[in-house]
Structure 1
């Protein structure tokens, strides 16, 4: 009888401990009600792995997908692809940015394609190796006009041994090489952990895209693994994080703003949802 009580006490203790560990480490799934999907465009099957979007103008969006070196021009008004632009071989293309008549496409290996006059029959293609590699897994890229550089964040390993730090790197706009001095760094000791203790430590944060708001200069960063939207102040310090409902954001991989500052998010295909572009507004 005594042995049975001891065994029961041990089992009870283990269960209680497991419950405490689960409670401490479980993700917080209180999805934000600040963001509302106002419109959705279902993309054709060729874009089921849409990995990046960027506005050409307020009605046309340049899209890329993981596996092919093609820029797909999607017309929001016509609700279809209106042009395809070949720029490279098969690869793992993750981010696209349109700056005037130039398209920049980032491969996960850190290889950057610069397509000059990308909509012209006389377009020119330049290829640069930024200093990152496949182990860094680069999926984000945007122009930062204030510092005259491009910004990016490794999805996996940093270039330093600070594996737990969240580092935004600068890429020189002339040489297209990563600069030694980072744009910003959020460490495990940052005050962000006082109110967001699950932010990096337990769940991690896997940046699937980064873009800069055209009016406020704030930096918007998507996480596709656990759908979240991180907003940083223009200087790179923490402002806010929103947990996105996977019912609407199944795998957010692309983000772009139109000239009015309206936010568009693209999602890859999932088991239950088709690939899409969404107009998302704040409420």
Structure 2
């Protein structure tokens, strides 16, 4: 049963489709109260997720089999944490103002925390973070539009060798593309809340939390699909994760009840 509604749009470009996703009948887990404001998740394997929540500077390891938090890993004071990425034994967490934390050996006995002040600000409003294994870099997506270009939002790269942010976006989300033509509003018609890379196709997936949607682009930023959802299924979609096999998980902050992680069919 498809629970998302098809987006009506005028003459989409070849290869672009807007369709619903299957949610009904797939797994769903309610998160503990401390994760009510869950803002980012990453799948660790063996039914375990690394989770962050909006206000606390801690990583929480949550096990869906036992439905409990196995471990809390503090790394900073209270803030506005929006995305998490895992690269080897390091976890990376980003604040909306662009402050980036690396938690080395994050599951070890004595994690080491490093902070990187990258040239993004609260005006850019960083909302998502993921690890691009193919290019050994982090990708960050912003909710704010690009400077001097209100028709585009940016996906930026943080190089893990130089530990520096590439100055220009490596991918642009062009709001003038036909795939966006049916969305309500103008320049802020698409508001990213998370980013992830498909482990098999290397396509880039970008989630919108309000009026939930999921944009799929190829590695170069070519638009492929826009999936839509019902708010009754994804009331406040904030986090995005894939298993190595390509299973998709979306987390919801608990605005109208308990926060959740849901498995979503592709």
1:99 corresponds, among 77, 87, 103, to 87
CA contact (8 A) 1:137 1:157 kept: no
The separation in 2 between residues aligned to 1:113 and 1:203, in whole angstroms, is 28
CA contact (8 A) 1:32 1:245 kept: no
The separation in 1 between residues aligned to 2:20 and 2:183, in whole angstroms, is 20
The separation in 2 between residues aligned to 1:149 and 1:200, in whole angstroms, is 33
| Residue number in structure 1 paired with 2:46 | 58
SS at match of 1:88: coil
* Greater relative CO, 1 or 2 (CA 8 Å, sep 6+): 2
CA contact (8 A) 1:129 1:177 kept: no
1:40-95 CA-to-partner distances (Å, cap 9, x unmatched) read: 10001111100000112231101000111111110011111111111110001111
SS at match of 1:56: strand
Q: Which runs of 5+ in 2 are unaligned?
A: 1-5, 10-17
Q: Which runs of 5+ in 1 are unaligned?
A: 1-26
- For the structure 1 residues 57 and 39, does the alpha-carbon distance in structure 2 shift closer, same or farther, using more than 3 Å as the test? same
1:94-142 CA-to-partner distances (Å, cap 9, x unmatched) read: 1111222111111111011100100111211110011101111111111
Structure having the higher Rg: 1
| Residue number in structure 1 paired with 2:158 | 171
Q: TM-score, normalised by structure 2?
A: 0.87
User: Is residue 243 of structure 1 aligned with residue 231 of structure 2?
Assistant: no
Name whichever structure is richer in helix by fraction: 1
| Residue number in structure 1 paired with 2:194 | 209
The separation in 2 between residues aligned to 1:166 and 1:199, in whole angstroms, is 16
The separation in 2 between residues aligned to 1:270 and 1:236, in whole angstroms, is 32
- For the structure 1 residues 145 and 199, does the alpha-carbon distance in structure 2 shift closer, same or farther, using more than 3 Å as the test? farther
The separation in 2 between residues aligned to 1:199 and 1:218, in whole angstroms, is 25
Name whichever structure is richer in strand by fraction: 2
- For the structure 1 residues 222 and 157, does the alpha-carbon distance in structure 2 shift closer, same or farther, using more than 3 Å as the test? same
- For the structure 1 residues 255 and 125, does the alpha-carbon distance in structure 2 shift closer, same or farther, using more than 3 Å as the test? same
Q: Which runs of 4+ in 1 moved over 6 A?
A: none
Give the length in aligned residue pairs.
252
Q: CA RMSD in A?
A: 2.2
